[in-house]
Amino acid sequence: MNESLEVTETAAAEPPKRKKQQRSAVTQARLLNAASAAFAESGFRGTSTRDIADRAGVHHPLITYHFKNKKMLWRATLDRLFAEFGESVDSAVEHVPVSEPRARAVRLVRAYVEFAYARPELFRIINHESGHPGPRLDWIVETHLRPAFGEYLAFLGALQSAGLARSGNPALLLNMIRAMSSVLPAMGIEVNKTSGIDFNDAATRDELSRLIIDIFLPESPPA
């Protein structure tokens, strides 16, 4: 009888616990969304935790409850953005055989452009930190950028060796591809005001991807 009562009480306690966990996850997601927008607009120095809380529509103390401080919230924001980017590029090449490296490279470029359009916050935050070299930029480089850069650099070098990419300094070539794939979509508002190019148009993003591919990964690369 006592065992039955204990099981019943445990079962009754589980739904409120799950609801609390769900509310916590929702709050964290709202804070991370707000932080992404705020840090992209104003950088780490120009953003206050109160501003982020206001944007998220939550009480200010919840930031310290979930993330301890602004530095940890900033890192969590970058961790999530880089995770989303990784999922995007992994998904792009998921069904492309390793035996078709150029096809994989083409898919990667297109995924890069689409992600930069959909989530420009990542590249704007990196740009902010590039203008203020210090521990935060070092953390981004060591935690996220350098490991991925090494992997892509080896991949591009293999493409060059196989005659599937332009010759030249592979590190410089890779940075050129990165810049064209990310900076232009992330600067979409300025580009539109300057030249009338609208990255909200899928055909425009497709053309950008095609131009990058034609320049750096032509079917018959020039020497």
Confidence of residue 14 (pLDDT cuts 50, 70, 90): low
Same domain, 193 and 134: yes
pLDDT at 165: 95
Same domain, 208 and 120: yes
pTM of the full structure? 0.86
* Mean pLDDT, range 47-64, rounded to an integer: 94
From 3-7, 94-98, 187-191, the region with the lowest mean pLDDT: 3-7
CB 35 within 8 A of CB 52: yes
Same domain, 61 and 79: no
Residue 154 sits in which domain range? Answer: 72-223
Same domain, 77 and 63: no
Same domain, 26 and 84: no
Confidence of residue 6 (pLDDT cuts 50, 70, 90): low
Q: How many domains does the chain have?
A: 2
pLDDT at 76: 97
pLDDT at 23: 78
Q: Is the pLDDT of residue 22 over 80?
A: no
pLDDT at 219: 79
CATH of the domain at 131: 1.10.357.10
Q: What is the rounded CA–CA span in Å between residue 113 and residue 120?
A: 10
Q: Please name the residues in contact with 162: beta carbons below 8 A apart, sequence gap of 6 or more.
A: 101
- Which residue, 32, 53, 68, sits at the end of a domain? 68
Top pLDDT among 125 and 7 is at 125
